[in-house]
Structure 1
């Protein structure tokens, strides 16, 4: 979702975008990530469970073959080891995993050729891409070259009103494939109309014998506050979930928290019409891993007020592997909304679960 930002920056953002796309430099690739990596010195701990290795602004306000290399809403590991980075402006980039340098970009569209508000991304075991759009919402399967191969069913209640009870631009934000590859899970960003304002629904699908996905269980996840949404979820090897909760307050900045969640034992809410305090539903259990504001800034700067200058509109997340101590290597990215007051920033974390 293109999170609300300070309106006073819009004019400056448009001017900056014009400068970026004009002239022969528009087709240039981004500089190597090392040019603007920051590793800092001293303690890199964010909490007992999370360490920030470094961050990189290498792609901030850059273009690749005429496409703006920003607006990133999701990340995923490609089968070949590189990164897939999804722009919510209907473009899917391939990035070199070491330098972040773009090596390819593919345009995405719906069945009528219209652009998507693309938010969630999974690279499936056969290399195809599962992509959410929060407009309807939808989940579509695409080939590597951007052809639509399939479209998954969506429960009526999760559709945008008046077709359902969801609010536009507050639907499927996160998408992940659980270990084993048989269960796909998408997170709504905010609550449905009629549900408790802090409760978002996690929808799952099960893979059938012919490779398609059918609707399966649904779960209730409670955010810390009604102002916080869920922009991303990622499965970890034991089947639990890393969950981002994010919000924005003008004049103060972003709140971004990372949780470890477990849906085992949670109530299947697919048959529960209204999730309220009286519904008797067992929500997904969660444990706070860290508030990103508690991480060391490592020399980061912010273009608008933030509790920590490291922060921005963090929206994408993927697990890239483990280190020698068994900690997960987790990569986050912020969506800069092509706004001069925001930054496309990658965050390299180590997470003990």
Structure 2
């Protein structure tokens, strides 16, 4: 099922959204491209961040007969000031689900995390999502609260099979009521789909989504490079992911190349290769066309590196009509470093996957709240991190 609305409304939203994308304020200078590890210089109209604090919740914390963990997406609900989180449990431990939580975020960090509710995500027929190897399984990754309706929009990256017995499950962005009931599925660009020699790589597909333009637009990014767009990052070179700007009804307005960083260390030999990509994107409500991205890398033998970047779409090439970006002379989105979590006094760098705006501080600074996915592993953590952005 697709989101239904009258054709006139779709056209009107597309026109307004396209105007927002193309008529951005000329007074805000585009970001300069930044080398890895280069922070924004003070006074240059670019964001920079400082560390406030962190807290964790117990491993395999139990709430209403579910295991709290695998938290891969977070958003602050503007209607309540509370937070909604999505677990990437593929219904292996408990049915696919979201949580509601209350956090205190202030100048001294993040405190008093309380899980206050949970809802099961449901299929169109009202049933829960089954685990793999069912072809109806999902892999939940990110969640956003609809600023217009309060509904939940959530992404799932599907499954590109690596064994003959595994099903192929296409990525999707779904809309659910606040109690998890299915409402609709957003039409996605054709190149977001798994195909034999094209589309996203397995476990590098659609994760990050964000609303911008007051809810008229939904922007997403594929975690890693599409097969047709080139190789993944190595220590010697970065790679290219695709960002897509759509109306809330699915009309694709533009698509852009996001330059992923090279690996921060050489991987040790072993059965598992490195994992690097963008698990979260967050629109800047004050500056149209700008976003924050979360780049998370895991390298065998070197653990995690997590960085937050500010990006600007203005001036970048629209690649929505390009079958492949490999070897093409184009202008990627501009990015610069806002925060490297290694620069902060964290007890460990975790598998951080979720990113949202928190409340504004008395200083006028905005806060960011990040959450890590513990992979339901005893040696990892569900950690909430608070930063101040100026």
* Shorter-chain TM-score range: 0.7 to 0.9
Structure 2 residue aligned with 1:291: 340
CA contact (8 A) 1:243 1:258 kept: yes
* Counterpart-to-counterpart distance in 2, 1:273 and 1:292: 35
* Counterpart-to-counterpart distance in 1, 2:184 and 2:259: 31
* Counterpart-to-counterpart distance in 2, 1:107 and 1:285: 38
Instruction: Measure how far apart 1:164 and its partner are.
Output: 4.6
Structure 1 residue aligned with 2:310: 260
Distance 1:59 1:203, change over 3 A: farther
Per-residue CA deviation, residues 301-327 of structure 1 (Å, 9 max, x unaligned), is xxxxxxxx2x10000000113223332
Q: Aligned to 1:232, which of 257, 273, 280?
A: 280
1:87 maps to 2:125: no
Structure 1 residue aligned with 2:366: 328
Structure 2 residue aligned with 1:223: 260
CA contact (8 A) 2:188 2:250 kept: no
CA contact (8 A) 2:217 2:245 kept: yes
CA contact (8 A) 1:119 1:174 kept: yes
Q: Aligned to 2:153, which of 99, 106, 130?
A: 130
RMSD: 1.9
* Counterpart-to-counterpart distance in 2, 1:163 and 1:228: 21
- Any stretches of 5+ residues in structure 1 without a counterpart? 1-45, 301-308
Distance 1:231 1:70, change over 3 A: same
Instruction: Measure how far apart 1:200 and its partner are.
Output: 0.3
**Equivalences for 1:333-352 in 2 at 5 Å?**
333-352=371-390
Per-residue CA deviation, residues 43-66 of structure 1 (Å, 9 max, x unaligned), is xxx997221111011254311011
CA contact (8 A) 2:198 2:228 kept: no
Number of residue equivalences: 291
CA contact (8 A) 1:75 1:85 kept: yes
Per-residue CA deviation, residues 200-258 of structure 1 (Å, 9 max, x unaligned), is 01112113xxxx34232111100112663111110112131111111112222101111
Q: Which runs of 4+ in 1 moved over 6 A?
A: none
Structure 1 residue aligned with 2:247: 206
| SS of equivalent residue, structure 2 residue 103 | coil
Structure 2 residue aligned with 1:21: none
Structure 2 residue aligned with 1:106: 119
1:316 maps to 2:354: yes
Distance 1:160 1:281, change over 3 A: same
Structure 2 residue aligned with 1:97: 103
* Counterpart-to-counterpart distance in 1, 2:152 and 2:378: 30
CA contact (8 A) 2:197 2:228 kept: no
| SS of equivalent residue, structure 1 residue 103 | strand
* Counterpart-to-counterpart distance in 1, 2:256 and 2:124: 29
Instruction: Measure how far apart 1:163 and its partner are.
Output: 8.6
Structure 1 residue aligned with 2:27: none
CA contact (8 A) 1:236 1:319 kept: no
TM-score between both structures, scaled by the size of structure 2: 0.71
**Equivalences for 1:66-215 in 2 at 5 Å?**
66-78=65-77, 79-89=79-89, 90-98=96-104, 99-111=112-124, 113=127, 114=129, 115-125=137-147, 126-135=149-158, 136-162=170-196, 164-197=198-231, 198-207=239-248, 212-215=249-252
CA contact (8 A) 1:59 1:100 kept: no
* Counterpart-to-counterpart distance in 1, 2:73 and 2:176: 15
- Any stretches of 5+ residues in structure 2 without a counterpart? 1-38, 43-47, 90-95, 105-111, 130-136, 159-169, 232-238, 264-274
| SS of equivalent residue, structure 1 residue 180 | helix
